[in-house]
Structure 1
Protein backbone atom coordinates (compact mmCIF):
# COMPACT_ATOMS: atom_id res chain seq x y z
CA UNK A 1 0.00 0.00 0.00
CA UNK A 2 2.82 2.42 0.84
CA UNK A 3 4.48 2.32 -2.59
CA UNK A 4 1.39 3.25 -4.68
CA UNK A 5 0.38 5.75 -1.99
CA UNK A 6 3.70 7.62 -2.16
CA UNK A 7 3.89 7.49 -5.95
CA UNK A 8 0.34 8.79 -6.37
CA UNK A 9 1.07 11.47 -3.78
CA UNK A 10 4.20 12.60 -5.61
CA UNK A 11 2.68 12.46 -9.08
CA UNK A 12 -0.51 14.12 -7.86
CA UNK A 13 1.37 16.99 -6.22
CA UNK A 14 3.54 17.36 -9.32
CA UNK A 15 0.44 17.60 -11.53
CA UNK A 16 -1.26 19.93 -9.05
CA UNK A 17 1.83 22.13 -9.01
CA UNK A 18 1.74 22.43 -12.81
CA UNK A 19 -1.97 23.23 -12.87
CA UNK A 20 -1.54 25.65 -9.95
CA UNK A 21 1.24 27.55 -11.72
CA UNK A 22 -0.90 27.86 -14.85
CA UNK A 23 -4.00 28.92 -12.92
CA UNK A 24 -2.07 31.43 -10.84
CA UNK A 25 -0.43 32.99 -13.89
CA UNK A 26 -3.77 33.32 -15.68
CA UNK A 27 -5.20 35.05 -12.63
CA UNK A 28 -2.22 37.38 -12.21
CA UNK A 29 -2.25 38.44 -15.85
CA UNK A 30 -5.98 39.13 -15.94
CA UNK A 31 -6.84 36.09 -18.04
CA UNK A 32 -8.91 34.19 -15.49
CA UNK A 33 -11.65 33.70 -18.07
CA UNK A 34 -9.51 30.96 -19.61
CA UNK A 35 -9.72 28.71 -16.51
CA UNK A 36 -12.54 26.50 -17.93
CA UNK A 37 -10.16 25.52 -20.74
CA UNK A 38 -7.57 24.53 -18.11
CA UNK A 39 -10.03 22.20 -16.39
CA UNK A 40 -11.08 20.69 -19.72
CA UNK A 41 -7.43 19.85 -20.40
CA UNK A 42 -7.07 18.31 -16.92
CA UNK A 43 -10.18 16.17 -17.28
CA UNK A 44 -9.23 14.99 -20.78
CA UNK A 45 -5.78 13.99 -19.54
CA UNK A 46 -7.31 12.11 -16.59
CA UNK A 47 -9.76 10.36 -18.92
CA UNK A 48 -6.95 9.30 -21.26
CA UNK A 49 -4.92 7.89 -18.35
CA UNK A 50 -7.90 5.90 -17.06
CA UNK A 51 -8.70 4.63 -20.55
CA UNK A 52 -5.12 3.49 -21.19
CA UNK A 53 -4.80 1.87 -17.77
CA UNK A 54 -8.15 0.10 -17.96
CA UNK A 55 -7.53 -1.05 -21.52
CA UNK A 56 -4.13 -2.53 -20.72
CA UNK A 57 -5.45 -4.25 -17.59
CA UNK A 58 -8.39 -5.82 -19.47
CA UNK A 59 -6.14 -6.86 -22.34
CA UNK A 60 -3.65 -8.58 -20.03
CA UNK A 61 -6.41 -10.55 -18.30
CA UNK A 62 -7.09 -12.42 -21.55
CA UNK A 63 -3.50 -13.59 -22.01
CA UNK A 64 -2.36 -17.16 -21.31
CA UNK A 65 0.19 -17.62 -18.50
CA UNK A 66 3.37 -17.12 -20.53
CA UNK A 67 1.95 -14.12 -22.35
CA UNK A 68 0.93 -12.64 -18.99
CA UNK A 69 4.49 -13.03 -17.74
CA UNK A 70 5.78 -11.40 -20.92
CA UNK A 71 3.28 -8.54 -20.55
CA UNK A 72 4.29 -8.09 -16.91
CA UNK A 73 7.95 -7.97 -17.87
CA UNK A 74 7.39 -5.43 -20.65
CA UNK A 75 5.18 -3.19 -18.50
CA UNK A 76 7.78 -3.37 -15.74
CA UNK A 77 10.57 -2.29 -18.08
CA UNK A 78 8.46 0.59 -19.38
CA UNK A 79 7.64 1.60 -15.81
CA UNK A 80 11.32 1.59 -14.86
CA UNK A 81 12.18 3.81 -17.82
CA UNK A 82 9.33 6.21 -17.06
CA UNK A 83 10.03 6.36 -13.33
CA UNK A 84 13.72 7.01 -13.94
CA UNK A 85 13.08 9.73 -16.50
CA UNK A 86 10.50 11.30 -14.17
CA UNK A 87 13.00 11.61 -11.33
CA UNK A 88 15.78 13.07 -13.47
CA UNK A 89 13.44 15.31 -15.47
CA UNK A 90 12.10 16.92 -12.31
CA UNK A 91 15.64 17.26 -10.98
CA UNK A 92 16.69 19.03 -14.19
CA UNK A 93 13.76 21.41 -14.70
CA UNK A 94 12.58 22.02 -11.12
CA UNK A 95 14.13 25.48 -10.80
CA UNK A 96 12.88 26.66 -14.18
CA UNK A 97 9.51 24.92 -14.39
CA UNK A 98 7.53 28.05 -13.46
CA UNK A 99 9.28 30.17 -16.11
CA UNK A 100 8.89 27.40 -18.71
CA UNK A 101 5.17 27.07 -18.06
CA UNK A 102 4.67 30.85 -18.14
CA UNK A 103 6.46 31.04 -21.49
CA UNK A 104 4.46 28.14 -22.93
CA UNK A 105 1.25 29.67 -21.70
CA UNK A 106 2.01 33.05 -23.27
CA UNK A 107 2.90 31.34 -26.53
CA UNK A 108 -0.30 29.25 -26.50
CA UNK A 109 -2.53 32.28 -25.95
CA UNK A 110 -0.70 34.72 -28.21
CA UNK A 111 0.60 32.53 -31.02
CA UNK A 112 -2.64 30.94 -32.10
CA UNK A 113 -6.02 32.17 -33.29
CA UNK A 114 -7.62 29.21 -31.54
CA UNK A 115 -6.74 30.25 -27.99
CA UNK A 116 -9.05 27.81 -26.23
CA UNK A 117 -7.81 24.81 -28.21
CA UNK A 118 -4.17 25.80 -27.71
CA UNK A 119 -4.61 26.19 -23.96
CA UNK A 120 -6.51 22.90 -23.63
CA UNK A 121 -3.77 21.13 -25.59
CA UNK A 122 -1.01 22.64 -23.46
CA UNK A 123 -2.64 21.61 -20.17
CA UNK A 124 -3.63 18.22 -21.58
CA UNK A 125 -0.08 17.26 -22.57
CA UNK A 126 1.40 18.59 -19.31
CA UNK A 127 -1.02 16.61 -17.12
CA UNK A 128 -1.21 13.54 -19.39
CA UNK A 129 2.53 13.06 -18.93
CA UNK A 130 2.03 12.68 -15.19
CA UNK A 131 -1.04 10.51 -15.65
CA UNK A 132 0.55 8.05 -18.07
CA UNK A 133 3.66 7.80 -15.91
CA UNK A 134 1.41 6.82 -13.02
CA UNK A 135 -0.59 4.33 -15.10
CA UNK A 136 2.44 2.27 -16.09
CA UNK A 137 3.84 2.34 -12.59
CA UNK A 138 0.55 1.22 -11.03
CA UNK A 139 0.17 -1.56 -13.60
CA UNK A 140 3.60 -2.86 -12.65
CA UNK A 141 2.78 -2.67 -8.92
CA UNK A 142 -0.71 -4.17 -9.23
CA UNK A 143 0.67 -7.13 -11.18
CA UNK A 144 3.13 -7.84 -8.37
CA UNK A 145 0.62 -7.33 -5.54
CA UNK A 146 -2.44 -9.24 -4.43
CA UNK A 147 -5.55 -7.95 -2.75
CA UNK A 148 -7.02 -4.45 -2.53
CA UNK A 149 -4.13 -2.85 -0.60
CA UNK A 150 -2.35 -1.40 -3.66
CA UNK A 151 -5.47 0.19 -5.25
CA UNK A 152 -6.55 1.57 -1.87
CA UNK A 153 -3.10 3.03 -1.29
CA UNK A 154 -3.13 4.66 -4.74
CA UNK A 155 -6.58 6.16 -4.12
CA UNK A 156 -5.55 7.54 -0.72
CA UNK A 157 -2.40 9.05 -2.24
CA UNK A 158 -4.42 10.72 -4.98
CA UNK A 159 -6.95 12.13 -2.52
CA UNK A 160 -4.21 13.53 -0.29
CA UNK A 161 -2.38 14.98 -3.31
CA UNK A 162 -5.52 16.83 -4.40
CA UNK A 163 -5.94 18.25 -0.92
CA UNK A 164 -2.28 19.27 -0.65
CA UNK A 165 -2.32 20.81 -4.13
CA UNK A 166 -5.38 22.90 -3.32
CA UNK A 167 -3.89 23.99 0.02
CA UNK A 168 -0.65 25.05 -1.66
CA UNK A 169 -2.49 26.98 -4.38
CA UNK A 170 -4.74 28.74 -1.87
CA UNK A 171 -1.73 29.69 0.24
CA UNK A 172 -3.03 27.95 3.36
CA UNK A 173 -0.16 25.44 3.35
CA UNK A 174 3.56 25.69 2.78
CA UNK A 175 5.42 22.55 1.76
CA UNK A 176 9.17 22.19 1.31
CA UNK A 177 8.92 20.89 -2.24
CA UNK A 178 12.70 20.58 -2.48
CA UNK A 179 12.89 18.03 0.32
CA UNK A 180 9.69 16.34 -0.83
CA UNK A 181 10.90 15.70 -4.39
CA UNK A 182 14.41 14.82 -3.17
CA UNK A 183 13.36 12.04 -0.82
CA UNK A 184 10.53 10.73 -2.98
CA UNK A 185 12.96 10.70 -5.91
CA UNK A 186 15.38 8.50 -3.99
CA UNK A 187 12.53 6.25 -2.92
CA UNK A 188 11.31 5.93 -6.52
CA UNK A 189 14.77 4.84 -7.70
CA UNK A 190 14.83 2.05 -5.12
CA UNK A 191 11.32 0.99 -6.12
CA UNK A 192 12.31 1.07 -9.81
CA UNK A 193 15.24 -1.24 -9.06
CA UNK A 194 12.81 -3.74 -7.54
CA UNK A 195 10.46 -3.48 -10.52
CA UNK A 196 13.41 -4.08 -12.87
CA UNK A 197 14.43 -7.18 -10.91
CA UNK A 198 10.90 -8.55 -11.04
CA UNK A 199 10.73 -7.79 -14.78
CA UNK A 200 13.88 -9.84 -15.38
CA UNK A 201 12.28 -12.71 -13.46
CA UNK A 202 9.05 -12.35 -15.45
CA UNK A 203 10.96 -12.45 -18.75
CA UNK A 204 12.64 -15.66 -17.57
CA UNK A 205 9.27 -17.22 -16.73
CA UNK A 206 8.04 -16.16 -20.16
CA UNK A 207 10.94 -18.08 -21.70
CA UNK A 208 12.77 -15.08 -23.15
CA UNK A 209 15.67 -14.79 -20.71
CA UNK A 210 17.39 -17.95 -19.52
CA UNK A 211 20.90 -16.74 -18.75
CA UNK A 212 22.58 -16.34 -15.35
CA UNK A 213 19.91 -18.33 -13.54
CA UNK A 214 22.09 -19.58 -10.70
CA UNK A 215 20.69 -18.78 -7.25
CA UNK A 216 22.91 -16.32 -5.37
CA UNK A 217 21.48 -17.02 -1.91
CA UNK A 218 18.35 -18.58 -0.44
CA UNK A 219 16.56 -16.88 2.46
CA UNK A 220 13.26 -18.70 1.99
CA UNK A 221 13.67 -20.47 5.32
CA UNK A 222 14.38 -17.33 7.36
CA UNK A 223 12.67 -14.54 5.40
CA UNK A 224 10.17 -16.06 2.97
CA UNK A 225 8.43 -13.83 0.43
CA UNK A 226 5.02 -15.08 1.57
CA UNK A 227 5.70 -14.16 5.21
CA UNK A 228 4.59 -10.87 6.78
CA UNK A 229 7.96 -9.11 6.53
CA UNK A 230 8.92 -10.70 3.22
CA UNK A 231 5.65 -9.73 1.56
CA UNK A 232 6.08 -6.11 2.68
CA UNK A 233 9.66 -6.00 1.35
CA UNK A 234 8.57 -7.67 -1.89
CA UNK A 235 5.72 -5.21 -2.39
CA UNK A 236 7.86 -2.17 -1.62
CA UNK A 237 11.30 -3.00 -2.98
CA UNK A 238 10.91 -6.12 -5.15
CA UNK A 239 12.51 -8.43 -2.56
CA UNK A 240 13.05 -12.04 -3.62
CA UNK A 241 14.06 -14.70 -1.11
CA UNK A 242 16.10 -16.70 -3.66
CA UNK A 243 17.30 -14.24 -6.33
CA UNK A 244 19.22 -15.42 -9.36
CA UNK A 245 22.40 -13.83 -10.66
CA UNK A 246 20.50 -11.96 -13.37
CA UNK A 247 17.81 -10.70 -10.99
CA UNK A 248 20.20 -9.52 -8.30
CA UNK A 249 22.64 -8.17 -10.89
CA UNK A 250 19.91 -6.09 -12.55
CA UNK A 251 18.85 -4.70 -9.17
CA UNK A 252 22.35 -3.78 -8.00
CA UNK A 253 23.60 -2.39 -11.31
CA UNK A 254 20.53 -0.23 -11.90
CA UNK A 255 20.56 1.16 -8.38
CA UNK A 256 24.30 1.87 -8.46
CA UNK A 257 24.12 3.75 -11.77
CA UNK A 258 20.90 5.60 -10.87
CA UNK A 259 22.17 6.77 -7.48
CA UNK A 260 25.47 7.98 -8.92
CA UNK A 261 23.58 9.96 -11.58
CA UNK A 262 21.16 11.32 -8.99
CA UNK A 263 23.84 12.62 -6.63
CA UNK A 264 26.22 13.81 -9.35
CA UNK A 265 23.63 15.82 -11.27
CA UNK A 266 24.38 19.57 -11.02
CA UNK A 267 22.42 21.57 -8.48
CA UNK A 268 20.30 20.50 -5.59
CA UNK A 269 17.39 18.20 -6.46
CA UNK A 270 14.66 20.58 -5.48
CA UNK A 271 11.55 22.20 -6.81
CA UNK A 272 10.99 25.96 -6.83
CA UNK A 273 12.06 27.49 -3.54
CA UNK A 274 8.57 28.52 -2.48
CA UNK A 275 5.58 26.22 -2.48
CA UNK A 276 3.27 29.21 -2.98
CA UNK A 277 2.37 28.94 -6.63
CA UNK A 278 0.60 32.28 -6.47
CA UNK A 279 3.88 34.23 -6.35
CA UNK A 280 4.80 36.00 -9.62
Structure 2
Protein backbone atom coordinates (compact mmCIF):
# COMPACT_ATOMS: atom_id res chain seq x y z
CA UNK A 1 0.00 0.00 0.00
CA UNK A 2 2.84 2.41 0.84
CA UNK A 3 4.59 2.11 -2.54
CA UNK A 4 1.52 2.86 -4.72
CA UNK A 5 0.59 5.67 -2.33
CA UNK A 6 3.96 7.41 -2.59
CA UNK A 7 4.31 6.84 -6.33
CA UNK A 8 0.84 8.21 -7.08
CA UNK A 9 1.45 11.10 -4.69
CA UNK A 10 4.58 12.03 -6.59
CA UNK A 11 3.05 11.46 -10.03
CA UNK A 12 -0.04 13.40 -9.05
CA UNK A 13 2.05 16.29 -7.72
CA UNK A 14 4.06 16.45 -10.94
CA UNK A 15 0.85 16.68 -12.97
CA UNK A 16 -0.64 19.16 -10.46
CA UNK A 17 2.45 21.38 -10.75
CA UNK A 18 2.13 21.56 -14.54
CA UNK A 19 -1.60 22.22 -14.42
CA UNK A 20 -1.12 24.73 -11.60
CA UNK A 21 1.49 26.66 -13.58
CA UNK A 22 -0.82 26.78 -16.59
CA UNK A 23 -3.80 27.85 -14.47
CA UNK A 24 -1.75 30.54 -12.72
CA UNK A 25 -0.55 31.85 -16.07
CA UNK A 26 -4.13 32.09 -17.34
CA UNK A 27 -5.26 33.90 -14.20
CA UNK A 28 -2.35 36.34 -14.12
CA UNK A 29 -2.69 37.24 -17.81
CA UNK A 30 -6.45 37.78 -17.66
CA UNK A 31 -7.27 34.61 -19.58
CA UNK A 32 -9.15 32.77 -16.82
CA UNK A 33 -12.02 32.25 -19.27
CA UNK A 34 -9.89 29.60 -20.96
CA UNK A 35 -9.87 27.33 -17.88
CA UNK A 36 -12.52 25.01 -19.44
CA UNK A 37 -9.91 24.08 -22.04
CA UNK A 38 -7.60 23.00 -19.19
CA UNK A 39 -10.34 20.79 -17.71
CA UNK A 40 -11.01 19.28 -21.14
CA UNK A 41 -7.34 18.39 -21.49
CA UNK A 42 -7.29 16.81 -18.00
CA UNK A 43 -10.44 14.79 -18.72
CA UNK A 44 -9.13 13.51 -22.06
CA UNK A 45 -5.75 12.59 -20.54
CA UNK A 46 -7.26 10.70 -17.59
CA UNK A 47 -9.69 8.88 -19.90
CA UNK A 48 -6.86 7.90 -22.24
CA UNK A 49 -4.67 6.58 -19.41
CA UNK A 50 -7.54 4.55 -17.93
CA UNK A 51 -8.41 3.17 -21.38
CA UNK A 52 -4.82 2.03 -21.95
CA UNK A 53 -4.59 0.50 -18.48
CA UNK A 54 -7.90 -1.37 -18.81
CA UNK A 55 -6.93 -2.65 -22.25
CA UNK A 56 -3.61 -4.00 -21.03
CA UNK A 57 -5.20 -5.58 -17.98
CA UNK A 58 -7.94 -7.31 -19.98
CA UNK A 59 -5.46 -8.47 -22.60
CA UNK A 60 -3.12 -10.00 -20.01
CA UNK A 61 -5.98 -11.87 -18.34
CA UNK A 62 -6.48 -13.90 -21.52
CA UNK A 63 -2.88 -15.09 -21.69
CA UNK A 64 -1.82 -18.63 -20.65
CA UNK A 65 0.40 -18.87 -17.57
CA UNK A 66 3.73 -18.69 -19.39
CA UNK A 67 2.59 -15.73 -21.50
CA UNK A 68 1.33 -14.01 -18.37
CA UNK A 69 4.78 -14.32 -16.83
CA UNK A 70 6.31 -12.88 -19.99
CA UNK A 71 3.81 -10.02 -20.00
CA UNK A 72 4.60 -9.35 -16.34
CA UNK A 73 8.31 -9.21 -17.16
CA UNK A 74 7.79 -6.83 -20.10
CA UNK A 75 5.56 -4.52 -18.08
CA UNK A 76 8.07 -4.61 -15.23
CA UNK A 77 11.00 -3.69 -17.48
CA UNK A 78 8.98 -0.87 -19.02
CA UNK A 79 7.93 0.37 -15.57
CA UNK A 80 11.58 0.41 -14.45
CA UNK A 81 12.52 2.50 -17.47
CA UNK A 82 9.62 4.89 -16.91
CA UNK A 83 10.35 5.32 -13.20
CA UNK A 84 14.05 5.92 -13.86
CA UNK A 85 13.32 8.46 -16.57
CA UNK A 86 10.78 10.17 -14.31
CA UNK A 87 13.29 10.62 -11.49
CA UNK A 88 16.09 11.86 -13.76
CA UNK A 89 13.83 14.17 -15.76
CA UNK A 90 12.30 15.79 -12.69
CA UNK A 91 15.74 16.20 -11.16
CA UNK A 92 17.01 18.08 -14.21
CA UNK A 93 13.94 19.95 -15.46
CA UNK A 94 12.20 21.13 -12.30
CA UNK A 95 13.98 24.47 -12.08
CA UNK A 96 13.16 25.57 -15.62
CA UNK A 97 9.67 24.08 -15.81
CA UNK A 98 7.77 27.32 -15.16
CA UNK A 99 9.73 29.34 -17.72
CA UNK A 100 9.40 26.68 -20.40
CA UNK A 101 5.65 26.31 -19.83
CA UNK A 102 4.96 30.04 -19.88
CA UNK A 103 6.96 30.43 -23.09
CA UNK A 104 5.00 27.60 -24.67
CA UNK A 105 1.73 29.18 -23.53
CA UNK A 106 2.72 32.55 -24.98
CA UNK A 107 3.44 30.86 -28.28
CA UNK A 108 0.14 28.99 -28.13
CA UNK A 109 -1.87 32.19 -27.65
CA UNK A 110 0.00 33.84 -30.50
CA UNK A 111 -1.21 31.08 -32.81
CA UNK A 112 -4.53 32.86 -33.40
CA UNK A 113 -7.80 30.97 -33.33
CA UNK A 114 -6.03 27.65 -32.79
CA UNK A 115 -4.85 28.54 -29.29
CA UNK A 116 -7.75 26.64 -27.70
CA UNK A 117 -6.62 23.39 -29.29
CA UNK A 118 -3.00 24.17 -28.43
CA UNK A 119 -3.92 24.72 -24.78
CA UNK A 120 -5.93 21.49 -24.63
CA UNK A 121 -3.04 19.62 -26.27
CA UNK A 122 -0.50 21.00 -23.77
CA UNK A 123 -2.57 19.95 -20.77
CA UNK A 124 -3.42 16.59 -22.35
CA UNK A 125 0.22 15.72 -23.07
CA UNK A 126 1.40 16.78 -19.62
CA UNK A 127 -1.26 14.88 -17.69
CA UNK A 128 -1.31 11.88 -20.07
CA UNK A 129 2.43 11.43 -19.65
CA UNK A 130 2.10 11.23 -15.89
CA UNK A 131 -0.99 9.03 -16.24
CA UNK A 132 0.71 6.52 -18.52
CA UNK A 133 3.75 6.41 -16.24
CA UNK A 134 1.42 5.64 -13.36
CA UNK A 135 -0.52 3.01 -15.32
CA UNK A 136 2.56 1.00 -16.25
CA UNK A 137 3.93 1.20 -12.74
CA UNK A 138 0.64 0.16 -11.16
CA UNK A 139 0.28 -2.75 -13.59
CA UNK A 140 3.72 -3.98 -12.55
CA UNK A 141 2.92 -3.59 -8.85
CA UNK A 142 -0.52 -5.20 -9.08
CA UNK A 143 0.95 -8.19 -10.91
CA UNK A 144 3.60 -8.72 -8.23
CA UNK A 145 1.20 -8.20 -5.29
CA UNK A 146 -2.34 -9.23 -4.50
CA UNK A 147 -5.21 -7.81 -2.49
CA UNK A 148 -6.95 -4.46 -2.33
CA UNK A 149 -4.22 -2.62 -0.41
CA UNK A 150 -2.26 -1.52 -3.50
CA UNK A 151 -5.26 0.01 -5.36
CA UNK A 152 -6.40 1.71 -2.16
CA UNK A 153 -2.94 3.19 -1.60
CA UNK A 154 -2.85 4.46 -5.20
CA UNK A 155 -6.24 6.18 -4.80
CA UNK A 156 -5.23 7.76 -1.50
CA UNK A 157 -1.97 9.05 -2.99
CA UNK A 158 -3.74 10.51 -6.00
CA UNK A 159 -6.39 12.15 -3.83
CA UNK A 160 -3.79 13.70 -1.53
CA UNK A 161 -1.81 14.95 -4.54
CA UNK A 162 -4.93 16.67 -5.89
CA UNK A 163 -5.56 18.39 -2.55
CA UNK A 164 -1.93 19.51 -2.24
CA UNK A 165 -1.94 20.75 -5.83
CA UNK A 166 -5.08 22.79 -5.18
CA UNK A 167 -3.57 24.26 -2.01
CA UNK A 168 -0.35 25.15 -3.85
CA UNK A 169 -2.35 26.85 -6.61
CA UNK A 170 -4.33 28.93 -4.13
CA UNK A 171 -1.19 29.88 -2.23
CA UNK A 172 -2.39 28.44 1.08
CA UNK A 173 0.44 25.88 1.26
CA UNK A 174 4.21 26.16 0.97
CA UNK A 175 5.84 22.81 0.34
CA UNK A 176 9.61 22.27 -0.10
CA UNK A 177 9.12 20.47 -3.40
CA UNK A 178 12.85 20.19 -4.10
CA UNK A 179 13.45 18.16 -0.95
CA UNK A 180 10.27 16.16 -1.56
CA UNK A 181 11.26 15.13 -5.08
CA UNK A 182 14.82 14.29 -4.03
CA UNK A 183 13.65 12.06 -1.17
CA UNK A 184 10.96 10.33 -3.19
CA UNK A 185 13.37 9.98 -6.11
CA UNK A 186 15.74 7.86 -4.04
CA UNK A 187 12.82 5.81 -2.75
CA UNK A 188 11.54 5.25 -6.30
CA UNK A 189 14.95 3.99 -7.41
CA UNK A 190 14.79 1.34 -4.67
CA UNK A 191 11.30 0.39 -5.82
CA UNK A 192 12.47 0.22 -9.44
CA UNK A 193 15.36 -2.04 -8.44
CA UNK A 194 12.87 -4.43 -6.84
CA UNK A 195 10.69 -4.35 -9.96
CA UNK A 196 13.68 -5.14 -12.14
CA UNK A 197 14.64 -8.08 -9.95
CA UNK A 198 11.05 -9.33 -10.06
CA UNK A 199 10.99 -8.99 -13.85
CA UNK A 200 14.12 -11.12 -14.12
CA UNK A 201 12.41 -13.73 -11.96
CA UNK A 202 9.31 -13.57 -14.19
CA UNK A 203 11.49 -14.15 -17.25
CA UNK A 204 12.84 -17.29 -15.60
CA UNK A 205 9.32 -18.48 -14.79
CA UNK A 206 8.37 -17.87 -18.43
CA UNK A 207 11.23 -20.15 -19.46
CA UNK A 208 13.23 -17.43 -21.23
CA UNK A 209 16.03 -16.86 -18.72
CA UNK A 210 17.71 -19.82 -17.07
CA UNK A 211 21.17 -18.41 -16.34
CA UNK A 212 22.69 -17.63 -12.93
CA UNK A 213 19.88 -19.32 -10.99
CA UNK A 214 22.03 -20.29 -8.01
CA UNK A 215 20.50 -19.14 -4.72
CA UNK A 216 22.65 -16.48 -3.04
CA UNK A 217 21.09 -16.82 0.45
CA UNK A 218 17.96 -18.30 1.93
CA UNK A 219 16.00 -16.46 4.62
CA UNK A 220 12.82 -18.51 4.23
CA UNK A 221 12.98 -19.70 7.83
CA UNK A 222 13.93 -16.41 9.49
CA UNK A 223 12.04 -13.91 7.30
CA UNK A 224 9.41 -15.60 5.10
CA UNK A 225 7.12 -13.65 2.82
CA UNK A 226 3.99 -14.47 4.81
CA UNK A 227 5.20 -12.50 7.86
CA UNK A 228 4.25 -8.80 8.24
CA UNK A 229 7.88 -7.66 7.92
CA UNK A 230 8.58 -9.94 4.97
CA UNK A 231 5.43 -8.77 3.23
CA UNK A 232 6.37 -5.13 3.89
CA UNK A 233 9.89 -5.58 2.47
CA UNK A 234 8.50 -7.46 -0.51
CA UNK A 235 5.96 -4.75 -1.31
CA UNK A 236 8.43 -1.89 -0.98
CA UNK A 237 11.82 -3.25 -2.04
CA UNK A 238 10.92 -6.41 -3.96
CA UNK A 239 12.37 -8.61 -1.22
CA UNK A 240 12.60 -12.34 -1.90
CA UNK A 241 13.74 -14.75 0.85
CA UNK A 242 15.83 -16.85 -1.57
CA UNK A 243 17.07 -14.61 -4.41
CA UNK A 244 19.15 -15.98 -7.26
CA UNK A 245 22.42 -14.60 -8.57
CA UNK A 246 20.71 -12.99 -11.57
CA UNK A 247 18.15 -11.25 -9.35
CA UNK A 248 20.81 -9.88 -6.98
CA UNK A 249 22.98 -8.70 -9.88
CA UNK A 250 20.00 -6.99 -11.50
CA UNK A 251 19.03 -5.29 -8.22
CA UNK A 252 22.48 -4.04 -7.22
CA UNK A 253 23.60 -3.31 -10.78
CA UNK A 254 20.56 -1.16 -11.43
CA UNK A 255 21.02 0.81 -8.21
CA UNK A 256 24.68 1.51 -8.99
CA UNK A 257 23.91 2.76 -12.50
CA UNK A 258 20.83 4.76 -11.47
CA UNK A 259 22.57 6.47 -8.56
CA UNK A 260 25.53 7.30 -10.81
CA UNK A 261 23.20 8.88 -13.36
CA UNK A 262 21.40 10.76 -10.61
CA UNK A 263 24.66 12.22 -9.30
CA UNK A 264 26.15 13.06 -12.70
CA UNK A 265 26.38 16.87 -12.69
CA UNK A 266 27.10 17.54 -16.38
CA UNK A 267 23.67 16.91 -17.88
CA UNK A 268 21.86 18.50 -14.94
CA UNK A 269 23.99 21.61 -15.13
CA UNK A 270 23.41 21.95 -18.85
CA UNK A 271 19.65 21.63 -18.53
CA UNK A 272 19.35 24.16 -15.73
CA UNK A 273 21.91 26.62 -17.07
CA UNK A 274 20.66 29.94 -18.48
CA UNK A 275 20.27 30.07 -22.22
CA UNK A 276 22.84 32.83 -22.57
CA UNK A 277 25.57 30.82 -20.89
CA UNK A 278 24.74 27.82 -23.10
CA UNK A 279 25.17 29.95 -26.19
CA UNK A 280 28.49 31.25 -24.91
CA UNK A 281 29.70 27.69 -24.36
CA UNK A 282 28.46 26.61 -27.80
TM-score, normalising length from structure 2?
Answer: 0.93
Query: 2:279 is matched with which residue?
Result: none
Does the Cα contact within 8 Å between 1:12 and 1:161 map onto a contact in 2? yes
- Rounded to whole Å, the distance in 2 between the matches of 1:256 and 1:226 is 30
Does the Cα contact within 8 Å between 1:112 and 1:118 map onto a contact in 2? no
1:228 and 2:228 aligned: yes
Query: 1:185 is matched with which residue?
Result: 185
- Rounded to whole Å, the distance in 2 between the matches of 1:85 and 1:97 is 16
Counterparts of residues 3-82 of structure 1 (less than 5 Å): 3-82=3-82
Report the Cα offset of residue 116 of structure 1.
1.1
Does the Cα contact within 8 Å between 1:60 and 1:71 map onto a contact in 2? yes
- Rounded to whole Å, the distance in 2 between the matches of 1:50 and 1:8 is 14
1:28-74, Cα deviation, whole Å (9 max, x unpaired): 11111111101100110000111111111111111111011000000
Counterparts of residues 193-232 of structure 1 (less than 5 Å): 193-232=193-232
1:249 and 2:249 aligned: yes
Report the Cα offset of residue 112 of structure 1.
4.9
- Rounded to whole Å, the distance in 1 between the matches of 2:89 and 2:248 is 27
- Rounded to whole Å, the distance in 1 between the matches of 2:228 and 2:181 is 29
Counterparts of residues 80-95 of structure 1 (less than 5 Å): 80-95=80-95
Query: 2:160 is matched with which residue?
Result: 160
- Rounded to whole Å, the distance in 1 between the matches of 2:239 and 2:161 is 28
- Rounded to whole Å, the distance in 1 between the matches of 2:135 and 2:265 is 27
**Structure with more helix by fraction:** 2
1:241-264, Cα deviation, whole Å (9 max, x unpaired): 111110110000000111122123
CA RMSD, Structure 1 to Structure 2 (Å) = 1.3
Structure 1 residue ranges without an equivalent (≥5): 272-280
- Rounded to whole Å, the distance in 1 between the matches of 2:226 and 2:106 is 54
